[in-house]
Amino acid sequence: MTARTGGRRLSVERLTVLYDAQCSLCVHLRQWLMKQRQLVPLDLVPAGSMEAHRRFPGLDHSGTLEEITVIGDGGQVYRGTSAWIVCLWALAEHRPRAHWLTTPAGRPFARATVLAAAKYRSLTAAPCRADGEGACAVPDPESGT
């Protein structure tokens, strides 16, 4: 995939997926992504975590907790529907579907899927556990804490 940045095209060699580690659907999709054969390597990092802040200091991290955000190694930022599509594009088995989802016929389907996931997430979200500074604490996905 190439993205336009400042009038020039950048190829994508690696993607970082920022996901909500407190969302059961998001954690499930993280695990699913990790099991897929990746044509473009995916780094899966909890949104709002110290690691996310370290990697992307200029990013609006509160926004990354509202919707999936994917960042390309060239600084490309994909949010919402585009982020889901770029995740599929990175996977060997799903790249053709990702291309279809960018077409006029596929885009409404991609958007509806993202809206359905957001609705599910809002209905099943656990209450925010505040850290010492009033922000939501981001659990460690490996330890479950």
The mean per-residue pLDDT over the stretch 132-142 comes to 49
Percent of the chain whose predicted confidence (pLDDT) is above 90: 52
Q: What is the CATH number of domain 14-124?
A: 3.40.30
Q: What ranges do the domains of the chain cover?
A: 14-124
Q: What is the mean pLDDT of the chain?
A: 83
Distance of CA 102 to the CA centre of its chain: 17
* Per-residue model confidence as pLDDT tens digits over 89-122: 999 999 999 999 999 998 888 888 888 877 777 7
Provide the pairing of β-strand 42-46 with 15-19: parallel
pLDDT at 7: 56
Which conformational region is residue 135 in: left (phi greater than 0), alpha (psi within -120 to 50 degrees), or beta?
beta
Q: How far apart are CA 27 and CA 14, in angstroms?
A: 20
- The answer, yes or no, to whether residue 131 has pLDDT greater than 60, is no
* Per-residue model confidence as pLDDT tens digits over 28-53: 899 999 999 999 999 999 999 999 99
pTM across the whole model = 0.76
The mean per-residue pLDDT over the stretch 65-93 comes to 93
pLDDT at 119: 79
E strand residue ranges, 41-123: 42-46, 69-72, 77-79
